[in-house]
Amino acid sequence: MKRRPIHTFTFIAVLLVETLSGIAFAAGFQQHMIQKGETLSEIAQKYKVPLKSIIQANSIKSVHRIQTGKTLRIPKDAFVIKEIMYQVRPGDTLIGIANRHNVDWKDLQRLNRISSPRSLQIGTEIRIPHDTVSGFGDPLRIPLVLTSKYGYRPHPVTGRYRMHEGIDLRAAIGTRVYASKGGRVIFAGRKGGYGKLVGIEHEDNFTTWYGHLSRIRVKVGQIVSQGKVIGLSGNTGISTGPHLHFEIRYKGRSEKPTKYITIP
Residue (of 176, 174, 114) closest to 142 by Cα position? 176
Interatomic CA distance for residues 81 and 48, integer angstroms: 5
Shortest separation between residue 147's beta carbon and Zn ion, angstroms: 9
The footprint of Zn ion on residues 122-181 (CB under 5 A) is 168
- What is the nearest approach in angstroms of Zn ion to the Cβ of residue 232? 17
CA distance 59 to 22: 18
Q: Determine the residue with CB nearest Zn ion.
A: 245
Distance CA 183, CA 148 (A): 26
User: In terms of DSSP H, where are the helices of the chain?
Assistant: 3-28, 40-47, 51-57, 94-100, 105-111
| Residue 144 beta carbon to Zn ion: minimum distance, rounded to whole angstroms | 14
Nearer to Zn ion, 4 or 152 (CB): 152
Assess contact for 264 and 251: CB atoms under 8 A: no
Q: Which is nearer to Zn ion, 47 or 150 (CB)?
A: 150
Interface with Zn ion (CB under 5 A), residue from 208, 245, 248, 257 = 245
Neighbours of 185 (CB within 10 A): 20
Question: Which range touches Zn ion (CB under 5 A), out of 132-140, 173-181, 221-229, 245-253?
Answer: 245-253
Distance CA 60, CA 67 (A): 11
Instruction: List the beta strands (DSSP E) in 47-96.
Output: 71-75, 83-87
Residue placing its CB nearer to Zn ion in the complex, 8 or 240:
240
Segment interacting with Zn ion, rule: CB under 5 A, options 60-68, 113-121, 229-237, 239-247: 239-247
Least separation in angstroms between CB 193 and Zn ion? 9
In terms of CB distance, is 131 or 168 closer to Zn ion?
168
Taking the complex as a whole, the smallest distance from the CB of residue 194 to Zn ion amounts, in Å, to 9
Nearest to 203 by CA among 114, 108, 92: 92
Please state the closest distance from residue 201 (CB atom) to Zn ion, in A.
20
**Residue 247 lies near Zn ion (rule: CB under 5 A):** no
In b/e form, how buried is each residue of 50-74, taking b as 16+ CB within 10 angstroms?
A: bbebbbebbebeeeeebeeeeebbb
Shortest separation between residue 93's beta carbon and Zn ion, angstroms:
39
The nearer residue to Zn ion, 73 or 155, going by C-beta atoms, is: 155
Q: Round to the nearest angstrom and report the end-to-end CA distance of the chain.
A: 57
Q: What DSSP state is assigned to residue 204?
A: G
Instruction: Write each residue from 189 to 228 as x if it is in contact with Zn ion (CB under 5 A), else as -, in one continuous string.
Output: ----------------------------------------
Q: Taking a C-beta distance cutoff of 8 angstroms, is the pair 67, 25 a contact?
A: no
Nearer to Zn ion, 170 or 245 (CB): 245
Q: How many residues bind Zn ion, per CB under 5 A?
A: 2
Which residue lies nearer to Zn ion by CB, 129 or 139? Answer: 139
Residues lying near Zn ion in the complex (CB under 5 A) = 168, 245
